[in-house]
Amino acid sequence: MAVTYYVALPFIRTEDGTAPGEAQECQSESAAIRRAEGISRDPTNAGAVAFKRAGDPNVGEFSDVAPGKVQEGRMM
């Protein structure tokens, strides 16, 4: 059974640059984009990306990640 996952992924600032934060699963593509936009406004984050991925979790086969929108945060 094919399933599509919609995800908002923050990128956090580290001493060495940036690193991915904790991914947040969303109900829809537009919800993932809105969440990524909100995450990117948090000054502790370097930015965020929204993406979707479709596949069959029962067999572990998934398509390549399809970006929804990239939103950069303000650099301090």
Give the residue extent of every domain in the chain. Answer: 3-72
What pTM, to 2 d.p., does this model score? Answer: 0.75
Which pairs count as long-range contacts for 23-29, CB under 8 Å and 24+ apart, including other chains?
26/50, 29/68
Query: What is the predicted pLDDT for the residue at 75?
Result: 30
Higher pLDDT, 76 or 13: 13
- pLDDT per position as a tens digit, 19-58: 999 999 999 989 999 999 999 999 989 999 888 888 877 7
Question: How far lies 5's CA from each of 18, 24, 30, 36, in Å?
Answer: 24, 10, 12, 15
Tell me, rounded to whole angstroms, the distance of Cα 63 from its chain centroid.
Answer: 16
pLDDT of residue 66 exceeding 60, the answer is no
Query: What is the predicted pLDDT for the residue at 20?
Result: 94
Query: Helices then strands (H, E): number in the chain?
Result: 1, 6
Pairing type for strands 3-14 and 66-72 reads unpaired
pLDDT of residue 61 exceeding 90, the answer is no
